Structure formats: C-alpha cells, structure tokens
Amino acid sequence: MARFYVVEFDEPGVLAKGKGSRNIITRLTRVLGKLGVSSEVLPFAELMARGPAGEPQSYVLLHYNELFVVQNHKVDWLRDRETELAALGHKILHSVEQGRIVGHKVRQNKVLTAAGVPMPRLIETGSSFETAFSNEVSNAHVPVQLVGDAAELDPGRYNTEYVDCRHEYEGELWHVCIRAQAVGEQVLFSWVRAGKEPNVRTRGTPVDARLLNHFHTQLVRPNADQIQAIARGVKDVLGVGFYAHDILPCAKTGRLLLCETNFKLYEGFYRFYMKPIAAELPNPAFFDGRKATRRMARALMHELRLSG
C-alpha cells in the first residue's frame, strides 16, 4: 500500500509558518486515506522511531519554511534529517536542495530561467536597466523598491527588471498579480490580487467581487495555458511539490512571467480575507475545505502515480 507522510519539525528556524494550517493538512491526509493511500501528519522523531519504510511507495513531505531555513542557516541541519529519512527507504518531497533554490530568490531565478521558465530578467552588477524591482533575497511580506538609478541599486538584494503589470478597471490602473496553487504541474486554483503599489499582496487587495471577476476574466481565463506551462516548468526543475506561484501578467506584451514560487499547501489567509464575497468569486471550490482537499489529494496521487 502506498504511504504518504507530512513530517513536522520543532527546530527553531525551520518551523513551517505560513505554509498551510494544521487543519487543512490533516484533512488532506484523511482524504488520501479514504482514497486508499495511508497518510498522516507526524513529528520527525516519531517517524524515525518506526524504522524502515517497509513500502516501495513511501513518500515523506518535509514540512518547513524554506525562507526561514535559508535565513537561519539551517540547510545542513535539515539535510541531515532528510538523509536519515531517505536511509529508511522514504522518498522525499520538498527536499532540502529544492528548498535551497525556492528559499533564495536569486538562486531560484537563475535555476528556473536556465530551464526555460519565463521570469523577469535578473539585474546583476554592471547590467543596464530602466527600472529595477528590488526585494529581499530570502524574506516575504517586506517592503520592496523600484529603483531607476544604477548607483542606488543594492547588489545584495534580489533585483530584477520591473514588469509593468498595471491593468485598468473603471478608469483606474491597478497593479495585478496572479497566484496559482499547484501540486506539481496540476494547477488547482488561480486567482488575482490587486493593489495600488507594485508589491501586490492578498492584504490590500480590494474585497470587491466585480473588480476581481473582471481581472479574472481578462487575465486568468485566457492565459490558462501559460499558467499551466509555468507550473510544468517549475515541476520539471524542482519535482513534485505543493507550490504557490506568483505570476506577473505583463501589460505591454501580454506574456505571463513567474515572479517567484514558494512551497505552500494552502492559502488560508486568502480564504479568510475573501470570505465575505466567496460565493461571488470564480473559484468557489477553493473556499470549501472538502472540495479543496479532495482536489489536492487527487492531484498528488496523479503526480506521484499512487494507487489506492
């Protein structure tokens, strides 16, 4: 029988904050169990104490925050834990090597761009540019900068060519970003976020069904193939995993470019934030925990070729 474990860590600097609530992850494992895949969430030490995997299809998803691991220099610590699990015969998802790439924006851009995933051009020392979008290398929810002078560009930050994602709604321009939740190359849900500043987040997106449906119709639906291609490209490089892809719809060219990807099982804050208008949005299944986890489970089984 196929087995799937979500392994949690209590090591400071590794904790999986912001990657999906315990409730949604537990629900996912229950659904997998009903579909014939033995599944559970448990601490690292408990799984180690059980000894060898005993099954050729035994998968372990390492549940950690890749940004924290890189920030706090926990890569080697986590690599040792991964090695111990692999020695027992488990196959690893969200491996440390994948986390090193995902958790470091410059490294991520170089690796994914080299593999053909469309991303904004990385600006390195000596590069020419008109406007740079400057962000921290291994952090989230922090201020960003638009920089127009090469002398003011900090080479220690993540600097890319600015992609103009301003789109019009009722006479006003909004910076728009698409977020796609994917399991491997299976895109489960896509939605838009919008704001008046270039660094678009869920917090600050108008809770306005008409505006969000307008941009969904204009930018998500006609670009489903591009979103799918980005998810496929990320999977080809990083393997099967639970991802949140932040995608930039360029207003000038119509192309979609991957701003960045992160490990994420579920976007709980978006569900909470948009709850007042959930029934009016184009992705109602996202707001139903049973439907969402069923979709997640089936996608995972397809990606790993698990049979119940």
166-222 pLDDT, tens digit per residue, is 999 999 999 999 999 999 999 999 999 999 999 899 999 999 999 999 999 999 999
In a domain, 298, yes or no: no
In a domain, 227, yes or no: yes
Based on the domain organization, do 141 and 203 belong to the same domain? no
Residues 6+ apart with CB under 8 A from 270: 179, 191, 202, 286
User: With 90 as the cut, is the pLDDT of residue 20 above it?
Assistant: no
DSSP per-residue codes, 141-209:
S---EEE--GGG--TTSEEEE----EEEETTEEEEEEEEEEEETTEEEEEEEEEESSSS--STTS---H
Based on the domain organization, do 132 and 148 belong to the same domain? yes
Based on the domain organization, do 174 and 154 belong to the same domain? no
Cα–Cα distance between 83 and 93 in angstroms, integer?
Answer: 13
- Return the closest-CA partner of residue 84 out of 63, 57, 53, 55: 53
pLDDT score, position 17:
83
Prediction pTM value? 0.95
In a domain, 288, yes or no: no
Residue position matching structure tokens 């080697």: 76
Report residue 197: phi and psi, to 5°.
-115, 155
What CATH number does the domain containing 245 carry?
A: 3.30.470.20
CB-based contact 125:137 (threshold 8 Å): no
Residue 247 half-sphere exposure, CB side, CA atoms within 13 Å? 33
Based on the domain organization, do 62 and 126 belong to the same domain? no
CB-based contact 23:272 (threshold 8 Å): no
Based on the domain organization, do 154 and 255 belong to the same domain? no
Give the three-state DSSP class for 53. Answer: coil
User: Whole-number mean pLDDT of the chain?
Assistant: 95
In a domain, 114, yes or no: no
| Rg, C-alpha atoms of the chain | 20
In a domain, 170, yes or no: yes
CB-based contact 306:57 (threshold 8 Å): yes
pLDDT in tens, 239-288: 999 999 999 999 999 999 999 999 999 999 999 999 999 999 999 999 99
pLDDT score, position 119:
98
Based on the domain organization, do 152 and 133 belong to the same domain? yes
Residue 149's domain spans which residues? 121-161
Report residue 126: phi and psi, to 5°.
90, -10
Residues 6+ apart with CB under 8 A from 224: 187, 190
pLDDT score, position 308:
61
Based on the domain organization, do 81 and 156 belong to the same domain? no
In a domain, 291, yes or no: no
Based on the domain organization, do 156 and 173 belong to the same domain? no
Based on the domain organization, do 143 and 34 belong to the same domain? no
pLDDT score, position 61:
98
Based on the domain organization, do 157 and 236 belong to the same domain? no
Number of structural domains in the chain = 3
Q: DSSP alpha helices (H): ranges in 196-240?
A: 209-215, 224-238
Based on the domain organization, do 202 and 235 belong to the same domain? yes
Query: Mean per-residue pLDDT for 101-130?
Result: 94
Segment (H or E) for 301: helix 289-304
**Least confident segment among 2-11, 88-97, 131-140, 296-305:** 131-140
Measured from the Cβ of residue 214, the count of other Cβ atoms closer than 10 Å reads 18
Based on the domain organization, do 153 and 212 belong to the same domain? no
Query: Mean per-residue pLDDT for 34-50?
Result: 97
Question: How far, in whole angstroms, is CA 167 from its chain's centroid?
Answer: 24
Query: Mean per-residue pLDDT for 18-29?
Result: 91
In a domain, 290, yes or no: no
Residue position matching structure tokens 């998802």: 93
Share of the chain above pLDDT 90, in %: 85
What CATH number does the domain containing 36 carry?
A: 3.40.50
- Return the closest-CA partner of residue 194 out of 186, 184, 204, 185: 204
In a domain, 256, yes or no: yes
